[in-house]
Amino acid sequence: MLTQLVLWQIGYAAAGFLLGALWQELPGRRGPSKAIPLAVAYAAPIGLFALGNWGLDEEQTSLALAAVAMLLILTLTGVMMDLETFSGERPYWHSRLSLLRSIYQIRYISVQLAWILAQAAAIATILQYLADNGGVPPQ
């Protein structure tokens, strides 16, 4: 269990580092949209692994959780990076939420919020599925 915890932390740290290192090169104007290419790059091998598991009748539920969790982490990291980028404008706004509304504008903040809530709902659904089925089957 400790090994898995360390591996997850290394994976999240590596993905966060890549997001920061490639920030200027990634497509998209805002942080949450910049997270998508990295999440797809993370999920592509998971998809291939899932196909192999499907062919061998192996368990795959934790694979979906890993892909969705990485997308959520990268999306939230992108939002925080946007806030940090515009932190010099902080004195002009009462709160971080006001600053975020000015960065994403009114029409885009609802889209970004819906995107984050959809990811959280996907994680909750996967976790509920795992709980209803008694967790991941032993390997």
Tokens of 131: 């709980």
pLDDT in tens, the chain (139 residues): 788 888 888 887 887 787 778 777 877 777 777 788 878 888 888 888 888 878 888 776 677 788 888 888 888 888 888 777 777 776 777 777 777 777 777 667 777 788 888 888 988 888 888 777 755 555 5
CA 3/CA 69 separation, integer angstroms? 18
pTM of the model: 0.66
CA 37/CA 71 separation, integer angstroms? 10
Tokens of 23: 């920030």
Phi, psi of 95 (to 5 degrees): -145, 170
Which residue type is seen at 65?
L
What is the longest distance spanned by two Cα atoms in the chain? 58
Tokens of 75: 């999306």
Residue 38 contacts residue 26 (beta carbons within 8 Å): yes
Tokens of 77: 């990291």
